[in-house]
Amino acid sequence: MTSTKTLTIDNFIAGKWEGSAERFEVRDPGRTADIVATVAVADAGAVDRAVNAAHAALKIWSEVSVEKRAEAVLHAADLIEAEADKGLDGLVGVVVRETGMLPAEITMEFRGAAFASRDNVEAARIALEPRIIEDEASIVRIEHKPIGVVAAIVPWNAPIVLLIRKFAPALVAGDTLVIKTPPTAPAGIALLMEKLAPLFPEGVINVVHGGAETGAALAAHPKVRLVSFTGGGVAAKAIMKTAAETLKNVQFELGGNDAAIVLDDFDLDGQIPTLAAGAFHRSGQFCFAIKRLYVPTSIYDAFFDKLAAHLDKVRIGHPLHPETTFGPINNGAQLSYLKGLIQKTRDAGGELIELGTPVSPETWDEGNYLRPVLVKDPGPDFDIVTCEQFGPVLPVMRYMDEDAVVELANGTDYGLGSSVWTSNFDRGAAFARRLEAGMTFINKNAQSRLGRRHMPFGGIKQSGIGTENSELGLAEFTEIHAMNFHKV
């Protein structure tokens, strides 16, 4: 079992740890009396020192060849994978304690982060290659240059992999980083970056901690040229307003109200576990989780019963308990929001079915625990249908007409992910093309290994600006320099 000692986490600036008078506590979501870490708050002065360190290092790192930058990022991938191999004895244990996610989930997150590093190196060898067009009169040459200092603002739900999806493309592109950690899960990021920093010139990687004020100071800093933010729409709008003052670029991966549409040829016996994972993996705490589920009337009752029976097998408890298959909610604020949403649904007349069994009922109140909940036949205007839950509460609606269900699925300001569930690939692909989303998955609400390398990850409408992954995502961390040579 991982250590339960309290960590001291400071800001990491120009290769050195830097404390502060103001600190905050990070608590174990499954046992909130336990303090995982005390963490230094980065005030405006600390943010300025971090950005200036990154800006100074930019002059060195941007001149390093793409090949050498790629070597460093690949070495980083090896170190990240080594942490996955250590299990609870390494940083996996730290991240389990601060996020409340299961050890297997965090181990796979580290492995996914290593994949993301290698994938971005592969993408860079294509995306950063100059493009040359020539005719008898002139030559056009288009190059991608580093954009500069990148502020990477990371959420709590998958802090390692979501950071590395910014870290890897930024560094292989020649940029430098100031990372702002999430207040409820900062420790794993800071300790991982300490391990990776020696691979790069001093100041290339900097880490600061804090809340909205720290993020605002980063977004306002004139030497930051890109803010890459994963989180919620309210914070994104505030960042965008601040960033406008210095006309810096923004890249946002935001929330969703992701619809899943089951077609009438769905395999009731074989696909239920996969679909359930698409909504309830990480206790529903991931951005592209299924938030709304539409099922044909012809199979609705049988489908609902099988889904409920599957979810009723989960064991809810502390992630380090060997019998736990379903972990807690990360923080008290999110737990309170979800409980309020459940109560509003109940008050509106919704039929709620709570499922699963607590591992330790006697310690239930010691953590941020919530059983998975299905909502049967809610009205289309119920808050549970129109919002982003970000937790294990799923509305299941019935439909009769495919055109009508497409209209319902698209009738939202969000557009992150979506999914279609069918036994017929061609039918699923045709249906997917009608959905308004940045991404559509067919028969699994997740990216395959091929998808993680080549599928741009991002949303449309209120779900984001720009994209991550693939050559398209890497290009967001660059600026274009075009040249036109005249022969005559």
pLDDT at residue number 373: 98
pLDDT at 76: 98
Q: What is the pLDDT of residue 124?
A: 97
State the pLDDT at residue 3.
62
pLDDT at 180 exceeding the cut of 90: yes
Tell me the residue ranges of DSSP E strands in 195-345.
205-208, 224-230, 249-253, 259-262, 292-296, 315-316
Section 23-40 average pLDDT: 98
Please return the burial class of 5, using the count of CB atoms within 10 Å of its CB with bins 0-12, 13-18 and 19+.
exposed
Known catalytic residue: 253?
yes
Mean pLDDT of 330-337: 97
What confidence tens digit (pLDDT) does each residue in 131-172 have? 999 999 999 999 999 999 999 999 999 999 999 999 999 999
| Set 83, 98, 105, 253: catalytic member | 253
Query: Which helix (H) or strand (E) segment is 88 a member of?
Result: none
8 Å CB contact between 400 and 409? no
Give the model confidence (pLDDT) of 62-94 as tens digits. 999 999 999 999 999 999 999 999 999 999 999
pLDDT tens string 229-239: 999 999 999 99
Q: Coil, strand or helix: which one is 420?
A: strand
Number of alpha carbons in the 13 Å side-chain half-sphere of residue 470: 13
pLDDT at 363 over 90: yes
Selected catalytic residue, list 287, 387, 388, 471: 287
Contacts of residue 233, Cβ cutoff 8 Å, sequence gap at least 6 = 254, 255, 462
Is 70 in contact with 172 (CB distance < 8 Å)?
yes
Angstrom distance (rounded) from CA 343 to CA 105: 29
179 vs 172: CA distance, rounded Å:
16
How far is it, in rounded angstroms, from Cα 278 to Cα 293? Answer: 11
Beta bridge partner(s), residue 397 = 294
pTM of the model: 0.96
Whether pLDDT at 1 is above 60:
no
Torsion of CA 158, 164, 166, 172, to 10 degrees: -170
Which pair of tokens denotes residue 52? 């200036």
**Which of 206, 201, 202, 172 has the alpha carbon at shortest distance from 189?**
206
Q: pLDDT value at position 98?
A: 98
* Radius of gyration (C-alpha) of the chain in whole angstroms: 23
Tokens found for residue 257? 């109200």
Q: Within 10 Å of residue 212's Cβ, how many Cβ atoms?
A: 12
DSSP sequence for 346-366? HHTT-EEEE--EES-GGGGGG
pLDDT in tens, 96-106: 999 999 999 99
Q: Is the pLDDT of residue 2 over 70?
A: no
Mean pLDDT, all residues of the chain:
97
Return the pLDDT at 156.
97
Q: How is the beta sheet containing 464-465 ordered, strand by strand? A: 16-18, 11-13, 205-208, 176-180, 149-153, 224-230, 249-253, 464-465
Angle, helices 66-86 vs 103-127, to 10°: value is: 170
Q: Is the pLDDT of residue 4 over 80?
A: no
Parallel, antiparallel, or unpaired for β 149-153 and 224-230?
Answer: parallel
HSE on the CB side for 195, CA within 13 Å?
17
Residue 326: which pLDDT band, with cuts at 50, 70 and 90? very high
